[in-house]
Structure 1
Amino acid sequence: MSLSSLHEQLRALRLGHFSQALQQQQEQPDTYTDMSFEERLGLLATHEILCRDNTKVKRLTRQAKLLDARPSGIDYRSGRGLKKEKIAVLLSGQYLHYNQNIIITGATGCGKTHLACALATQACEQHHSARYYRLGELLDELHVGHADGSYRQQLNTLAKRKLLILDDWGMEKLSARQANDLLDVMEIRYQQSSTIIASQIPTSEWYKLIPSPTIADALLDRLLHNSHRIELTGESMRKLDQSDHLA
């Protein structure tokens, strides 16, 4: 079999990265002269696996629509209310395996969104699907779903996301329809997946944002039950960053 035919077969088998690595070995024969067939084959297989893994992580991250934030960028300076050991446990992804939620609260500019997206980025790197929404954006999409008949499909899509991030929770009171929609979302995800909520409003005030006490009880029970709580404190990170640049 000719080398060109071999490469065509590898690509037909969707082993494109394997084929590229083989091409490299062929172009640099002296580098691999002292290696056994099994060792060279192992390098090719490892390259294929690593490239597939990298491609999957990039796809999951792109689909999640996250803000640019990575775990390495989490700021643990004193006064923020962040405990490294607690964040380390969350970054391990255990909460995803147990379908637990994370509630992040704190004042404007304290880094809630960055922390939520850093945790979600880590989840993508662990091969979990995720999706970031500002709460208003999600509610608008669900409203359109009622109008065009896609509402049930939207719920099924949200149910498949292992991690859902809802930012700017509690910016305004919910209407009865919005509260019902959120309950539908949380009901279909309950004990099947995880949700991260980022809010300026303390959880003790959330009940007042929901018009129906019955829906409030059901919705908050699904969100707050068995959740990890992080309350960020201290000055605005934007102000601190500006001070660092001026220093």
Structure 2
Amino acid sequence: MLKHPTLDQLHALGLYGMAKAFAELAEAPEANGLDRNDWLALLLDREASLRRDKRLTARLRAARLRQQASVEDVDYRAARGLDRALFQKLAEGQWIDAHDNLALVGPSGTGKSWLACAIGQKACRDNRSVVYHRWPKLCEELALARGDGRHPRLLKSLGRADLLILDDFGLEPLDAGARHDLLEILEERYGRRSTIVTSQLPVTAWHDVIGDPTYADAVLDRLVHNAHRIELAGESLRRARGKQAKSA
């Protein structure tokens, strides 16, 4: 194992990527032909790469995405009405910088959650903070948090992420607590952060799901008017793939 004062200093300074590259170059015969500038460039490149990987790992861990999805793996051949040009444009993320929202709607099994997670994973790769929640489960967590004093802290954490994904919205009507929490979340994020909402229901039905007309108007005003929309259709991809597997 290589022993060198420079290697010790790199470790002491926390420059582990540079330290690993230094050790590899010192033991590689072909590295003897490199000048000092090339050596330094390789060390810095390895350090930068290691730090990017660490940041991405931390962001993905914090995001807790439901699906291991990526925008490069999207299936555009499936008959579900996914606009390739629109989705690829959204994957670039300018709408997140503009603090817009995204409504991703369609029948069960058309890949809404997967697509939302793919955009979330790309946002993490672009050094943006992301948080994923299934809306029904989040409602339960918020209700419990009211009783143990965590409610303000949880609401605040939902307001901080660059991109918040609320999956499976509208599976059942909102009660008074859920209506209030949703409005507080969106009020905190409006004009500052971006939100993806996935739902089996069309956007036109969200007013009824929210229930109280005053709350519904306030929520949709903060969520929908600046929202891009992806509207999917067709048969469940899970069902279609199951049929293909049986016929194979």
TM-score normalised to structure 1 length: 0.95
Q: Which moved more, 1:208-217 or 1:187-196?
A: 208-217
Residue 3 of structure 1: how far off its partner (Å): 4.7
Displacement after TM superposition at 1:207 (Å): 0.7
Q: Return the offset for 1:240.
A: 2.5
What residue in structure 2 maps to residue 199 of structure 1? 199
The letter for the 2-side match of 1:63 is: A
Q: Which residue of 1 aligns with 2:16?
A: 16
For residues 28-78 of structure 1, the C-alpha deviation after alignment (integer angstroms, 9 at most, x for no partner) is 1x1211111110110010011011111111111111111211112211125
Q: State the distance in 1 between where 2:55 and 2:94 align.
A: 21
Distance in 1 between residues matched to 2:191 and 2:145, nearest whole Å: 24
Asked whether 1:56 is paired with 2:55, we answer: yes
Mapped pair 1:184 → 2:204: no
Residue 152 (1) aligns with residue 169 (2): no
User: 1:184 and 1:13 mapped to 2: Cα distance?
Assistant: 43
Does structure 2 conserve the Cα–Cα contact (< 8 Å) formed by 1:176 and 1:210? no
CA shift digits 1:206-243 (9 cap, x unpaired): 11112321111001111101111111111111122234
Q: Which residue of 1 aligns with 2:171?
A: 171
Task: Report the Cα distance in structure 1 between the residues aligned to 2:133 and 2:209, rounded to whole angstroms.
Answer: 19
Letter in 2 for 1:169: F
Within 5 Å, which residues of 2 pair with 1:101-116? 101-116=101-116
| Residue equivalent to 1:46 | 45
**2:198 and 2:235 mapped to 1: Cα distance?**
17
* Number of equivalent positions: 245
CA RMSD of aligned residues (A): 1.5
**Structure 2 alignment gaps of length 5 or more:** none
2:242 aligned with 1:242: yes
The residue that corresponds to 1:139 in the other structure is: 139
Say if 1:100 and 1:194, in contact at 8 Å, map to a contact too.
yes
Q: Give the corresponding residue for 2:210.
A: 210
Identity %: 37
1:140 Cα offset (Å): 1.5
**4+ residue segments displaced more than 3 Å:** 2-5, 243-247
Which secondary structure does the structure 1 equivalent of 2:103 belong to? strand
Q: Which amino acid in 1 is paired with 2:42? A: L
TM-score (norm 2): 0.94
